[in-house]
Copies of this chain bind each other. A is one copy, B any other.
Amino acid sequence: MSIEIIFGQQLRKIREENKLSQEELAFRAKLDRTYISLLERGKRRPTLNTIFALTQQLNISAAEMVRLVEEQVLNFHH
């Protein structure tokens, strides 16, 4: 499992927990709606700045988000 796929899965999960649509999250994070879709499907690799922009709208710290991704990466890495 690649980093971007796992990031996308976590993003979707957290977004849904926050009961936001892709469009609403995009608006609040000042990003494009279709880009959120691309991210969640693992088609794009977010920059650190983008991770900050997203997590600030999702009641989670950037570090915690990355920790969740890292956890999954290490788990899948065997």
Contacts and interface: CB of A to CB of B under 8 A. Distances in A.
Number of copies: 2
A47 interface: yes
A45 B51 contact: no
A4 B48 contact: yes
A45 B50 CA distance: 9
A73 B49 CA distance: 12
Which range contains the number of A residues in contact with the other chain? 10 to 19
A51 B51 CA distance: 12
A43 interface: no
A47 to B, nearest CB: 4
Interface string A40-62: 00000111110110000000011
